[in-house]
Amino acid sequence: MIVLASASPRRRELLTKMGIRSFTVLPARTEEPFDPSLPPGQALQRIALGKARDTASRVPAGDIVVAADTLVFLDGVPLGKPRDIRDAERMLRALSGREHLVVTGMAVLRGGEWRCDHAVTRVRFLPLTEEMIRWYLSTGEPMDKAGAYGVQGMGGLLVDTIDGDYYNVVGLPIAKLAPMLLWAGCDVFDERGGEA
């Protein structure tokens, strides 16, 4: 059985998009803090592995646990989920007309062994007018997303260019995840739908 250690509906959708027909969602209960002394990819892999281990402690040893953590980095500073609407507004103003990095760390764990990887995507925002910022805040979409936007939703209207993996910006770089699942015994390229 595949277990997704995340409550993110976007990650659930992306596992389904990969052709995985059957998986369970069991979000991690704890999360390690981001360690700024590490390179961003390594720090996020560490967080993802912590999530995977927490969830793995509550499922049978043979289950495959998938965990991920995504952050937006502007000038090297991580932008997580906004605390409130003012924080979301601050983030959107800071991102306006500028390039930022989206980094996702992933971990796949099975039977006490694991593999980790990460992806980095460059995203450039359009210059945002006051009207655009007010409109996007009014949608409520920014509130549960790193960097205060969701590229797969209405936030896609704010994005000028994407250099790298689009699915990484959504929250799960599926092309990098596929070989990790293969390692764990889940053949995502099998016609039975990635049964483990």
Mean pLDDT to the nearest integer, 142-162: 95
User: What per-residue confidence (pLDDT) applies to 195?
Assistant: 58
Which amino acid is residue 159, in one-letter code?
Answer: V
> pLDDT tens digit string along 90-133?
999 999 999 999 999 999 999 989 999 999 999 999 999 999 99
Other C-beta atoms closer than 10 Å to the C-beta of 150 total 21
pLDDT score recorded for residue 193: 58
The mean per-residue pLDDT over the stretch 57-70 comes to 94
Check whether 31 has a pLDDT greater than 90.
Answer: no
pLDDT for 194 beyond 80: no
Which residues are identified as catalytic? 69
Instruction: Say what the pLDDT of residue 32 is.
Output: 82
Q: 74-80 long-range CB contacts below 8 Å, 24 or more apart?
A: 74/98, 74/100, 74/101, 74/147, 78/34, 78/36, 78/40, 79/146, 79/147, 79/148, 80/34, 80/146
Do the beta carbons of residue 168 and residue 120 sit within 8 Å? yes
In the chain, domain spans: 2-184
Amino acid symbol at 189? F
> Which candidate, 106, 114, 115, 109, places its Cα nearest to that of 1?
109
* CATH class in words for 2-184: alpha beta
Q: State the number of CA atoms in the 13 A half-sphere of 18 facing the CB.
A: 28
Average pLDDT over residues 19-33: 90
Q: What is the C-alpha to C-alpha distance for residues 154 and 158, in angstroms, rounded to an integer?
A: 8
Give per-residue pLDDT as tens, 171-190.
999 999 999 999 999 888 87
The pLDDT of residue 192 is above 70: no
Q: What is the rounded CA–CA span in Å between residue 119 and residue 61?
A: 27
What's the mean pLDDT in 131-145?
95
pLDDT by residue (tens digit) across 7-21? 999 999 999 999 898
